[in-house]
Amino acid sequence: MSYTARLTIQRGSAAGETRLEIHEVPFEPGQSVLDGLRWIRAHHAPDLAFRFSCINANACKECMMLLDGKVIYACTERLRDGEMALAPLGNKALIRDLVTEIAPPDERLE
């Protein structure tokens, strides 16, 4: 059986207009939203920006974003058949696409 998630992704930067892009993502049960984003970057949008640091378990939580208005970790949330809307965190400064500022103010390079 074939499954398809339809991901609507908010894209853009702090300096410009944001736009919505829709991508049809084939998947198998158990695959994560992060898997879907990596598939989109590999097959359709190599410039799609999102953060993850799964190899560094102690530096995790970098893949936080909004899914249908709810804060999730893209690495643990599962893809599902049908519509899924992804956006950057609303309470953080937007850098680009799904990437927001995560460093505390006193640790940022000026």
Instruction: Taking residues 24-36, report their average pLDDT.
Output: 96
Residue 1 has pLDDT above 60, yes or no: yes
Q: What is the pLDDT of residues 36-81, one digit of tens each?
A: 999 999 999 999 999 988 766 656 778 999 999 999 999 999 999 9
Q: How far apart are CA 33 and CA 47, in angstroms?
A: 17
pLDDT for the residue 58: 59
pLDDT classification of 16: cutoffs 50, 70, 90: confident
Residue 70 CA neighbour count, 13 Å, CB half: 6
Q: Look at the chain and report how many structural domains it folds into.
A: 1
**CATH number where 69 lies:** 3.10.20.30
Residue 82 forms part of a structural domain: yes
pTM of the model: 0.88
Q: How far apart are CA 78 and CA 29, in angstroms?
A: 8
Residue 10: give the domain boundaries.
3-99
